[in-house]
């Protein structure tokens, strides 16, 4: 069994991925997204990717290594570092390419940990994880 202490990081990352979709809804292409409303949408998504990268560094390596769907976790953490050090070099298309793979990996991690319904609901009862209600059993 994998350490359920990882769930806080996984749930935070998963919530961030969902918020990225919310913040970018309604845009037809990356260029419109990047330049809309004085870049407020881009900045919101960048903030989420910084959190994702930071949280990814805290997940036990043994859990990362156990995934069926392979994700290069150094790339996930690297996106955070690139954004933090080269804001102008942020490529929205790369960010969106990562989101579906990341979400799948995080969902697989939750399955591997197999938290109790009580623990799962404890997380999902928090307003912080409002976009993860699809995880309720």
d(CA 39, CA 56): 25
Please name the residues in contact with 3: beta carbons below 8 A apart, sequence gap of 6 or more: 60, 63, 113
What pTM was computed for the model?
A: 0.90
Position 136 scores a pLDDT of: 92
The ranges assigned to domains in the chain are 4-129
pLDDT, tens digit, 9 for 90 and up, residues 78-103: 787 777 766 566 677 777 888 999 99
Summarised one tens digit per residue, pLDDT across range 7-40 is 999 999 999 999 999 999 999 888 898 899 999 9
Nearest to 117 by CA among 94, 97, 137, 91: 137
**Structure token pair of residue 55:** 């949280």
């Amino acid at each position: 069994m994998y350490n359920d202490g990882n769930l806080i990081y996984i749930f935070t990352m998963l919530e961030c991925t969902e918020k990225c979709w919310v913040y970018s809804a309604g845009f037809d292409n990356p260029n419109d997204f990047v330049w809309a409303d004085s870049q407020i949408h881009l900045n919101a998504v960048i903030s989420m990717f910084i959190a994702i990268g930071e949280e990814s560094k805290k997940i036990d390596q043994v859990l990362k290594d156990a995934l069926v769907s392979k994700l290069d976790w150094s790339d996930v953490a690297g996106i955070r570092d690139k954004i933090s050090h080269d804001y102008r070099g942020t490529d929205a298309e790369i960010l969106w390419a990562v989101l579906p793979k990341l979400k799948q990996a995080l969902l697989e991690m939750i399955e591997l940990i197999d938290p109790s319904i009580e623990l799962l609901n404890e997380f999902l009862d928090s307003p912080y994880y409002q976009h993860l209600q699809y995880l309720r059993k």
